[in-house]
Structure 1
């Protein structure tokens, strides 16, 4: 195999797959990138057996072939090469020769025969969906994904599509058991059987999908399903991710319906106050107290080893006096993904789950468990 490619294109291509390749070294071949040279293009494939990515790039190929090499080391090499055309060629016994300017590298590869199979995708079965819409919904839910491997059915984002009033609605949900995030938006596309039932995208796949969406917020993506996997195609890149095999909990039962106390507060002052007050709170739990009384909200924190702090904020609240404790990080994570100027907290009492959402628009709901006083 032999081809020539400009340094910027090759470096970008290798950077793109770094989040996919296996880091734990359990199977050496999964730390490698499969490089295949065809008539007028090369294809780069990486997988960890859960998420796989294949991208193609037009280039000058003088000899077709395929090889696998360390994705990390090849990227480090290419990144440091001069801004010139790179010559890439395979030699005997799976060795690879890389030349650029006056630099020369010989690195060892592994046989491509050991590399896992990457499925062929039928593009006709995919539906079109806006990248910007997906990116925004992932941004608003991914912070609540559970990272506890024992709760495997929570290790991802639940994605479901419904038709309401003749409008297709896409919904994303994530929870770690302490907080829940729901984002929903109208989209233009068909609702297939998998999406109608609901599927769980793995956390790694969700973060890779977000990267792809952010690369092209003005472009549509193609989305579909095959063999218990999700397929995403955007431009020259195809991502296949194995769906989480499990039942996502009935999140609708978690969203409170009896909360009747609403407090509205400006997002930015609220966010900065929470950051200040959490400085003195416990390193582990970041507990803060929120006291509501009329048009006044007082946020405070105390730590026997460090001291105490409090701050008054203007708020709109007409209910009875209420004192409630939260993990400040949970509130900050919600506020970080909201762009609206005002947020609403919908409360019941000091022990019941609280709802946090934009004050003036629909489409996003966060539920947070309070801390015991």
Structure 2
């Protein structure tokens, strides 16, 4: 597909929808998928025409470079249904731009905006019955791209596949989360791919997270790779710290993902008059704040959980329990953000996009 004038989405209709077989009240996050998927291949130096077709497995060569050299990126997004049965996306332009930043960093071709955005809107419109109304009900959207070119020589692929798959989801709640602050393992390094949503970033977390799980902690707060003195992310989320009435969060960098929920939380907090400081947050200052009772909250922010409060953290085998606060910043900001997403409050920022 050499230009946007060549753009046209082919739609191959399913014979029978599987939606009637789905128990929407008992869905495990990320395990159920809708009727359709979008597929668009890159070959011979250009993007081909995208196809929306029935969700199904596909064949791929065992020597495909995604298996051997990890060229794989993705995004996480959601669609929401309001009280009038209208479907909305939340800041999809941010996901599009971040997707292509990841592509550049992984030596993959950038996806044209017309493929990403029009493909996204077309498949969501086709699957709008899978978006259920009511707070907590969403349609999780997973755009991703993999290297499908064959050959085990260590160089970038010449063929890629961009896809969008969809998964109905309910409110993501994991209860009281306890975390351990990392003092050895790292999520990302200077000059690395931490700011890209690359598949390898997540697989590298599995082992140290398993070690934390074995000790009774659900997640890890990652620290900088060089000194392990700066707090950066919590699990797969950006992380916020409240000391007295000020919110602190690490600035984005080549180690830290530029989270869409993160920047939305910052904008909402500033609108509400909350002091937000984007700066390096030191382990020592958080430990000291916990010891002198000025540390009020820690919470993660990301697409899946929106806001995930942290009940306690451990550092060098010492556990610190956070106070239980009614009307916490975490609960206030989550409430304000979700009301915008579900069109229950005015979107003064212009973040929502109607399908």
What TM-score do you get using the length of structure 2 for normalisation? 0.24
- The higher relative CO (CA closer than 8 Å, separation ≥ 6) is in 2
Q: Mark the structure with the bigger radius of gyration.
A: 1
What TM-score do you get using the length of structure 1 for normalisation? 0.23
Higher strand share: 1
